[in-house]
Structure formats: C-alpha cells, structure tokens
Structure 1
Amino acid sequence: MRIVPMVLLTGCFGLASCAPPDGTGPALTYRVSIPASREIALVAPSAPLATIADLEDAARRESGCRATAIPRVYDATGQDRDTVVPATLYTGFGGQLPVTLACR
C-alpha cells in the first residue's frame, strides 16, 4: 500500500454527485491497497472530494494496470467520470472504493 498525492479538487459532501471542482485547493492523497490477486484495488482518498477519474488514476499509477471503478460508483455519478463521487458511497466500503484492475 502506498499514499499517492494528487491535486485536491473542492466539491460537495451531500448525497448527490456534484459538478467538478476548480482544482485550486491543496493536494489530495490516495491510499491504494492491492491484494496479491491484482484483480481489484481499494482506493481511499484523504477527503471525499475525488472524481471517478481521480480514483481510477490513483489505482492505475499504483498498480500499472487499467483501472475501472465499480458500476455502483458510475451509477451514483450519472456515468460521469469527472463528477465528485458522493461521500455516502465511501461508508458502504469502509472509507474506500473498489476499482477493478485489468493487468496484462
């Protein structure tokens, strides 16, 4: 597991997904856990302000594999990779979100 720094994007904490933030905040970091099977990564941002693209990018950088958030995350954002993931999704997965990996 490694902490991956990224730029913090300000957003909302409500039940619904939000428009992407402006990117002027401090760095947002990601804790990425990858089991030996390398089939899935568990990604936990330092604050619930990440977009799907942010989560997938963090998993891809850590694993070297193609990374795709699970359908439940896409459904919650209306299939928009650039919308902030609703904070309520993190509670269902212990503060982290599953991202499937496709490794060569």
Structure 2
Amino acid sequence: MSPESRDSVWADRYEAQVDWETDARATATAILFWIPRDLRTLPGMTSNVKFGLDAGTGRTVLGCPPDCPGPERNRYLTYVPGVTASRSARPWPRTQPPPSPSSPPP
C-alpha cells in the first residue's frame, strides 16, 4: 500500500488520510521507507515521524540512497538499531517485494 496520491486525488479530510496510513502500517508485514533526502524538494519530515513510530516493530526496511542531495541528514535514521538498513542508490522495482534482511538490494 502506498500513501501517495493517485491522479492527484486526496482524502476529503486530512485525518482520514492519516488514519488510513496508520491502520495500513499497523497491519503490514513489512514497512518500506525510501528516503532520498532533499531538504528543498523532499524533506521527509512526516516520514521521520512515521519511521520513529515503526522502527521498533522489527518490520521496517529503510532505503537511504548515498547519492541523494542530503545523505548526512539520514545518519540518525540509518543508525537506529533494529532496522534493516539498505543504502541502495536506486529504488526497488515496484513489481517485486523489498529484499529480505539477508538479501543485498538489487
């Protein structure tokens, strides 16, 4: 499940979107965070909060590409224990699930 809008259609109420995302993350077997940090165009502040809420569940997979505009801004996220950190420079293909903790990124 992806919280991104499809065709720029968003929930009528912001709370409905937040509730949907929270429920979806609570039932997911794996939660993928892809954070190509760019403070100008994609700061990821909401992702920081969501990652913090989910990091201790053992179900998070974190992707922080080292060639993003602000890789130093992801140091804390990649340090947090209990997280499967992937420093892949490209996103995983949409048609395949995220790699298992023992698998290298594609």
State the TM-score, normalized to the length of structure 1.
0.26
Structure with a larger share of its residues in strand: 1
Q: Which structure is higher in helix share?
A: 2
Per chain length, whose mean CA-contact separation is higher, i.e. which structure has more relative contact order (CA < 8 Å, sep 6+)?
1
TM-score (norm 2): 0.26
